[in-house]
Each structure stands twice: as C-alpha cells, then as structure tokens.
Structure 1
C-alpha cells in the first residue's frame, strides 16, 4: 500500500471517529480551509451520519475570502494568528461548537517568506483555540494530505477533551 493510500485510509477512519464523538456530544463541527482546499470537508462529509453533526465550512483559498468571510486581519496570511482567526471566524459565523482551520504553503516554492511545507492548524471550541505549526516535506499533494491528517487528529483530540 502506498503512503498516500495509507494516509487516505487514516483520514477516513479519523473522520468516522470524529463523527462518533460529535454525535455523542451533540456537537456541530465546522472547517475553514485554505491550503487543503476542501480536503477536510470532503472527509467529514463522507463520514457516516455527517448531516447530523457536520455544519460545513468555508474554503477560503484567496486572501480576500479570508478577510471578508472569516474576519482575518488584512495582511500576510501564512501565520498561526491567521489560522486562529479562521478557526474563530468560522465557529462564530456558523454558530458551531468545534472548528478546525488550515493555512500554509503547499509548494513547490516559498510564499510570504515561508518555505513549502510550512503549515498552521488551529482547532477551536467556544472556550479555547489551539494552534499548531508544522514543517512537512514532500510534494504539494503530500503536504495537503499530511495537513488534512494532522488537522483531523487535532479535531478528534479537542472532541475527546470536550467529552471528559
């Protein structure tokens, strides 16, 4: 099995588990994606009974979309601060319980002074927002896949914390 196929299987399993946790807690989950361009939403939407817990999200690939729809401060966007603003913005605009956001540089070249593979992920609830930074290697497709995997892992973790 290829690394990409194994990663896709892990993403599918994480989305299924997130659905179980969100359903049990009656939480609504939303996403704000830039780098991943809908990869996370696609995985969550394909999970069993997703219409009961997945509220949707915003695919904000262009910066103006981030500024207008998610309340991101105008300026450079490859940052943990931007990821946090995206997570808060989608949480508030949809009225959800838990959110995840992803922004970064897929490559092949640098952007805003950051090398390809630089990724910021934020997960949020009504009480807290946590931001993580990564430096992934590989092709743009690898960076997107790894980003989606990590984002879903953090989303699962915040739902587990909410449960305890």
Structure 2
C-alpha cells in the first residue's frame, strides 16, 4: 500500500465518521487491496462494513448478481457495487473489475478497468485505462482510483 493510498483511506475514515456513513467494497482484480487500505484506517470498526473479493467469474455472477457474461464491463462493476452495498448494509460501496494483464480479458485490453460507486442518492460507473504492461501498476492504479472515488463522493464532489 502506498502512502498516497494510506492518506486517501484516512480521509475516507475522517469523512465517513463525520457524516455518519458506512462504506463497503467489491473487488475483483485488486484482490483485497482496497479493503486492506480501508481496514487499516482510523476507527474502521465504526464505519467500514467489509468487502467481497470476487476474483472468480462464477462468484461475480452467483454472489454479486453480475448480469452480463463479460465481467470486464460497466454493467458488471455497477452490479457489484449495488449488490455489495445491499448485502453488507452499507451507505456507500465502491467496486472494481478489470483486465489486470498481462493478457486481455473479455475482449478488453490489459489495463481496462471499470469502477462503480453506489449510494442511495448516487450511482456512477467510470471506465479507466492503465498501462497494461505491468499488472501490479494496474492493481495499484485501480486501488488508488477507488479510494479517490470514495473521497470525492464523501466530500460531495462526485
């Protein structure tokens, strides 16, 4: 975890406590990195509900209700965020799914990532593109983007 991610997670913690909101995560390609950052933040037991790390396609379909055959897709990220928020009884959830590389997945080039944020009053999906040559860079970039999306939402900028 980078210092930047630690700062972003600390900001999520601060804002979640201030606003009295709970946070959850659905992760695929990041394999728990977002959850690790949030769980290490201050007072996590008060605001962090947990995560679903759905690395396998079958889990995405069966547990998180991903409706499309392709899991590297905006609809997949959207379903992951919405279902995780519901299952973990959170106020806001963020989800990431993508092709971490080095090979393509679902016809998407390595480095293609979909990030979704779901709350009762807000739903957004974004497509991100990272340099797919190095999987760890894709995972790191996806983790940072998810934490930044949470900060933006909690600050009212999203």
Write the mapping of 1:1-164 to structure 2, written as runs, cut at 5 A. Answer: 8-137=2-131, 138-161=133-156
Which protein has the bigger helix share?
Answer: 1
Tell me how far apart the structure 1 counterparts of residues 108 and 65 of structure 2 sit (CA, whole Å).
Answer: 23
Tell me how far apart the structure 2 counterparts of residues 80 and 101 of structure 1 sit (CA, whole Å).
Answer: 10
Deviation string, structure 1 residues 97-150 (Cα, Å, up to 9, x no partner) = 010000001100111111100000011111221011111014100000000001
Aligned residues: 157
**Displacement after TM superposition at 1:74 (Å):** 4.8
Deviation string, structure 1 residues 72-94 (Cα, Å, up to 9, x no partner) = 11511111111000000001111
RMSD: 1.5
Q: TM-score, normalised by structure 2?
A: 0.95
**Runs of 5+ unmatched residues, structure 1:** 1-6
Q: TM-score, normalised by structure 1?
A: 0.92
Partner of 1:3: none
Tell me how far apart the structure 2 counterparts of residues 120 and 28 of structure 1 sit (CA, whole Å).
Answer: 22
**Runs of 5+ unmatched residues, structure 2:** none
61-70 or 17-26, which deviates more: 61-70
Runs of 4+ in 1 over 3 A off after TM superposition: none
Deviation string, structure 1 residues 39-82 (Cα, Å, up to 9, x no partner) = 00000000111111000010000011111221111511111111
SS at match of 2:100: coil
